[in-house]
């Protein structure tokens, strides 16, 4: 039994493995330093997770603590977890893709590696998280590149936080009316339709270069995006592989190789 932990910009993403089998996943908020210090003085990880997790994982052994495979895009949180007694931090050097550049996010690399090993290369990943990212690799497992822009929720939050009168707006379950008659719907329309047009453009550009490539979508806003795409561009939505656990699959591949 071992744990995978992806420290994202907004949350901690957990995966519980038995060997190569992913048994359970869940998310928690970032942990304060005081919580992690309890591990250093004897509190079990199982007890710690039960205090912060809305759906606690299966019981975890406390002695010895289960191995923890960690990847992170938040350096301050990474430093906190180094007190865990059985932690292994994944770096870009351990991801066997070619042409990785030093500042590429480990989350993007792991998701691409996990998807490519599962469905084959070429592969393009759309990660609909706090940031929306595109990351692709060719048939020879060489990084082709990608793009980063603010995600759906982040764009709406920025409008509310950086203006004087625009409200906080939630993502609608279904595609909103394009030409809106309320401020809230106008914000939804502007963000969503513009983002969908961008996704369509990137996907079509990728297919022109790699017409045989598969495309996978992951990340916390993936369900919203797939629903919107199904209404606006069904030909793209129907080709997407929807999988929330691509990063964990990439981490599993790292474990298998080592």
- Active site amino acids: 107
Look up residue 148 and give its two tokens: 């980063």
- Name which of 206, 244, 209 is nearest 224 in CA terms: 244
CA distance 197 to 70: 35
CA distance 159 to 153: 10
Q: How many CB atoms lie within 10 A of CB 99?
A: 13
What does the chain come to in residues? Answer: 258
Question: E-strand spans in 105-165?
Answer: 123-128, 131-137, 143-150
Cβ(221)–Cβ(8) under 8 Å? no
Look up residue 77 and give its two tokens: 């949180």
């Amino acid at each position: 039994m071992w744990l995978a932990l992806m420290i994202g910009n907004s949350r901690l993403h957990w995966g519980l493995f038995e060997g190569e089998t992913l048994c359970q996943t869940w998310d928690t908020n970032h942990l304060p330093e005081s919580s992690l210090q309890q591990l250093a003085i004897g509190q079990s990880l199982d007890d710690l997770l039960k205090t912060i997790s809305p759906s606690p994982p299966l019981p975890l052994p406390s002695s010895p603590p289960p191995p923890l495979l960690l990847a992170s895009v938040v350096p301050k949180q990474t430093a906190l977890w180094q007190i865990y007694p059985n932690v292994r931090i994944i770096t870009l050097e351990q991801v066997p893709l070619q042409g990785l550049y030093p500042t590429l996010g480990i989350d993007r690399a792991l998701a691409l590696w996990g998807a490519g090993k599962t469905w084959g290369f070429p592969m393009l990943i759309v990660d609909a998280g706090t940031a929306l990212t595109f990351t692709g690799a060719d048939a020879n497992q060489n990084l082709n590149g990608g793009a980063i822009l603010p995600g759906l929720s982040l764009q709406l939050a920025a409008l509310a936080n950086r203006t004087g009168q625009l409200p906080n707006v939630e993502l609608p379950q279904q595609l909103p009316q394009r030409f809106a008659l309320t401020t809230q719907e106008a914000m939804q329309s502007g963000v969503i339709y513009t983002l969908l047009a961008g996704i369509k453009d990137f996907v079509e550009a990728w297919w022109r270069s790699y017409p045989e490539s598969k495309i996978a979508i992951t990340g916390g806003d993936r369900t919203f995006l797939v629903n919107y795409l199904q209404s606006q561009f069904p030909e793209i939505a129907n080709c997407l592989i929807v999988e929330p656990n691509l990063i964990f699959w990439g981490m599993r591949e790292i474990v298998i190789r080592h």
